[in-house]
Amino acid sequence: MTSASPRVSRLAYLGPSGTFTEQALLARPEAVGAELVACPTVPAALDLVREGTADAAMVAIESSVEGGVSVTLDELATGTPLVIVGEVEVPVTFCLVAPEGVGPEQVRTVGAHPHAAAQVRRWVAANLPDATVVDAPSNAASASALVDGTATWDAGIAAPLAAERYELTVLAAGIADTAGAVTRFVLVAPPGSATVPARTGADKTSLVVFPGEDRPGLLLEILESFALRGVNMVRIESRPTGEGLGNYCFSIDAEGHLEDARVAETLMSLHRTSAEVRFLGSYPRAAGGAAGPGSPGSPAPTSVPPGHADEDFAAARAWLDGLRPSR
């Protein structure tokens, strides 16, 4: 009697094949030997994880050019909770692709994902002034549709990987308006099946703060919760909650780990003074510019201000306990 084969993990990502998201996923060790599932949208990829159909999903969360990816931020802030267990930073370069026989002079419509379109806007205006940009579900979809005949555009804005995968002609390469652009991707899993990765000393913690009733100094209170405990915030964005004008939550990334005393104290402070705090995970920071498996380098350890190390918090607590009368 033979034993059953071990279960192969399933990892979802924004497809089709050839997206920057797939490139980010392939940079993670979890992708080795896993079944990769291409999804038409970010919500669809995250829904597979929430349903238990996929073990994790790779999604874009931040662009160095466009800022936070709204659909990802909103999906993580609402619905069944999910946690981030890792991140990958991918250098982003774009090219203009078309089927064989189509030249630049024939391009009247260009398919592009909205985030890609924003990063090549000036190039398109200067080089294809008469062309209209049409929304595509993803960078790879703008390329794949040219092959399967479903495209409503003459050429697409895509990653070099997509041009290679779909054997398209590259009409122009390196067309991004901003050199050195980077997109950050996160691997998201259910909180029950994915424990918080161990502290490395070079970590990031993500959360969403719902402040509740508006009041003077509300944002300052949130900022001070971090500042007073020596926690460096690396991103903060306000997002509408959908409950009416003026109702916002704050999506935050900060340096440090849940197991760091300064981070734990910050989370407790926010929990005391906010209507809700959604913990999105503590995980190792990306080394920076990880474009594929085996990328070299590791992030520098987080710098901790004087008086904010774990032993400083422990010493302060011991001092306070010494002041209290024994019972």
**pLDDT (average), residues 283-307:** 71
**pLDDT (average), residues 118-131:** 93
Q: Give tens-digit pLDDT for 137-193.
A: 988 999 999 999 899 999 999 999 899 999 999 999 999 898 888 999 999 999 975
pLDDT exceeds 60 at position 259: yes
pLDDT exceeds 70 at position 297: no
In DSSP terms, which residues pair with 198 in a beta bridge?
none
Q: Is 201 left (phi over 0), alpha (psi -120 to 50) or beta?
A: left
> How high is the pLDDT of residue 111?
95
Report the C-alpha gap between 287 and 91 in whole angstroms.
Answer: 12
H/E stretch holding 70: helix 70-77
Q: Give tens-digit pLDDT for 205-231.
A: 999 999 988 788 889 999 999 999 999
> How high is the pLDDT of residue 161?
87
Q: Which residues of 83-121 are buried (b: 16+ CB within 10 A; e: fewer)?
A: bbbbbbbbebbbbbbbbeebeeeebeebbbbebbbebbe
One-letter amino acid of 111: G
pLDDT exceeds 70 at position 288: no
Query: Residue 85 is encoded by which pair of tokens?
Result: 């267990």
**pLDDT (average), residues 284-289:** 76
The structure's pTM equals 0.87
Higher-confidence position of 307 and 241: 307
Identify the band that residue 290 occupies on the pLDDT scale cut at 50, 70 and 90. very low
> How high is the pLDDT of residue 294?
37
Nearest to 72, CA basis, from 81, 58, 63, 59: 59
**pLDDT (average), residues 80-103:** 94
Are 274 and 224 in contact by the 8 Å Cβ rule? The answer is no
**pLDDT (average), residues 293-304:** 69
> How high is the pLDDT of residue 327?
62
Q: Which residues of 166-204 are buried (b: 16+ CB within 10 A; e: fewer)?
A: bebbebbeebbbeeebbbbbbbbbbeeebebbeeeebbb
pLDDT exceeds 60 at position 94: yes
Are 204 and 61 in contact by the 8 Å Cβ rule? The answer is no
pLDDT exceeds 90 at position 128: yes
Average pLDDT of every residue of the chain:
90
CA distances from 59 to 132, 184, 282 (A): 28, 9, 17
H/E stretch holding 45: helix 42-51
pLDDT exceeds 90 at position 59: yes
Cis previous bond, 16, omega within 30:
yes
Report the C-alpha gap between 200 and 184 in whole angstroms.
Answer: 19
